[in-house]
């Protein structure tokens, strides 16, 4: 059964619980009930009720008579009130929706976009019951072990330039992984991020177009953070950040880093700085200069050396007969 419960957060519309979490997080010691009650202009009983609500969703909060409340541990969840702590973005994540176990965050984001939710709105889930990958594949989404996140974008971009949305997101995920773990992550055309030559993240970009313009785009990322070997089918060439670093990686820190970096990188795209994005992508690429096999969506196979991207972000292959072939979509594997 898909889960319909959701929690919504807007920077300018914090709930009382969001505010209590933020006060407790920014305080190194105890905060008295009286102090919190005054800040929030509510009664001490109301503070106590909110604290109990927070405990019920997994916050460990110590309460001592005469001293007050102290946050011992945040739950390992991507609740909007946690993701938004210290988040200073201009566009991305100004509004965050959180679901526990929806069918797919891309589908939820799509419904929200149809209802007119603004550009930059983010949808996050702890698990997905019907996570989708490209080309009709399933995206396994074990609870609390990955980042399953979709963003609503409304770029004024020619539909031929839409591959740039995926390129821009791939750069962003790669930079966030490098910054938070020190791992050498690489982008792989068209929509993957690799670590140790294995897939650690996939990107699913879906468009609503009208005539020659994009109504909106939903960009979804599925990032394997703390998955174990047993979470993947044995024949899948996939890895997780935990498997690569040998330690648990904070999904919260990674999510915040991703949102900050996407805010910057998407701004470049909106300013039309395509060549900058392309150069950045090429620097982080594991595909260029290598011999690859491309299988297009129509089932055609091409083999050759990946030489670069064209102005629309499509992959260029130098075939053995010296001709250049432009690949617009499908799957690419290193030979
Ligand atoms: C792929 O590699 O084929 C793309 C995988 C994309 C998975 C993410 S998880 C969040 C968002 N919701 C979905 O149903 N899919 C994307």
What is the tens place of the pLDDT at every residue in 29-59?
A: 999 999 999 999 999 999 999 999 899 878 9
Residues in the chain, how many?
Answer: 335
Q: How confident is the model at residue 13 (pLDDT cuts 50, 70, 90)?
A: low
C-alpha closest to that of 249 among 139, 119, 146: 146
Q: What is the pLDDT of residues 216-259, one digit of tens each?
A: 999 999 999 999 999 999 888 999 999 999 999 999 999 999 99
Around ligand 1, the residues with Cβ closer than 6 Å are 104-106, 128, 131-134, 137, 139, 148-150, 191, 202-204, 220-222
Of 149-153, 190-194, 330-334, the one with minimum mean pLDDT is 330-334
The number of angstroms, rounded, from the C-alpha of 245 to the middle of its chain's C-alpha atoms is 20
Return the bridge partners of 8, or none.
97
Site to probe by mutation for ligand 1, drawn from 131, 188, 206, 330 as the one with most ligand atoms within 8 Å of Cβ, is: 131
Burial 107-136, CB ≥16 within 10 A → b, else e: bbbbebbeeebebbbbbbbbbbeebbebee
Is the pLDDT at 297 greater than 70? The verdict is: yes
Q: Judge contact between 105 and 149, C-beta under 8 A.
A: yes
CA distance linking residue 235 with residue 239, whole number of Å: 12
Q: What is residue 235's predicted lDDT score, i.e. its pLDDT?
A: 87
- The CA-to-CA distance between both ends of the chain, in Å, stands at 41
CA distance linking residue 219 with residue 240, whole number of Å: 21
């Amino acid at each position: 059964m898909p889960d319909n419960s959701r929690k919504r957060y807007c920077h300018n519309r914090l709930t009382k619980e969001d505010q209590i979490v933020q006060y407790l997080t920014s305080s190194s010691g105890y905060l008295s009930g009286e102090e919190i009650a005054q800040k929030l202009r509510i009664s001490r009983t109301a503070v106590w009720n909110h604290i109990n609500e927070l405990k019920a969703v997994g916050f460990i909060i110590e309460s001592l008579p005469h001293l007050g409340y102290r946050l011992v541990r945040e739950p390992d969840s991507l609740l909007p009130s946690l993701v938004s702590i210290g988040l200073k973005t201009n566009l991305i994540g100004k509004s965050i929706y959180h679901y526990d176990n929806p069918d797919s965050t891309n589908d939820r984001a799509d419904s929200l976009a149809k209802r007119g939710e603004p550009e930059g709105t983010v949808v996050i889930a702890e698990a997905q019951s019907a996570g989708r990958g490209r080309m009709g594949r399933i995206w396994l989404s074990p609870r609390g072990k990955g980042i399953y996140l979709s963003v609503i974008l409304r770029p004024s971009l020619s539909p031929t330039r839409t591959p740039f949305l995926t390129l821009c997101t791939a750069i962003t995920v790669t930079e966030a992984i490098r910054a938070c773990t020190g791992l050498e992550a690489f982008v792989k055309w068209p929509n993957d991020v690799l670590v140790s030559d294995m897939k650690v993240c996939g990107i699913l970009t879906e468009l609503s177009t009208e005539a020659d313009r994009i109504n909106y785009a939903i960009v979804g990322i599925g990032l394997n953070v703390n998955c174990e070997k047993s979470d993947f089918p044995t024949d899948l060439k996939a890895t997780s950040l935990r498997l690569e670093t040998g330690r648990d990686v904070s999904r919260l820190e990674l999510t915040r880093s991703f949102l900050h970096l996407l805010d910057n990188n998407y701004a470049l795209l909106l300013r039309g700085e395509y060549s900058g994005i392309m150069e950045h992508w090429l620097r982080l690429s594991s595909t260029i200069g290598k011999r690859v096999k491309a299988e297009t969506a129509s089932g055609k196979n091409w083999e050759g050396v990946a030489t670069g991207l064209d102005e629309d972000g499509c992959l260029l292959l130098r075939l053995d007969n010296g001709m250049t072939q432009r690949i617009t979509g499908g799957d690419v594997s290193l030979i």
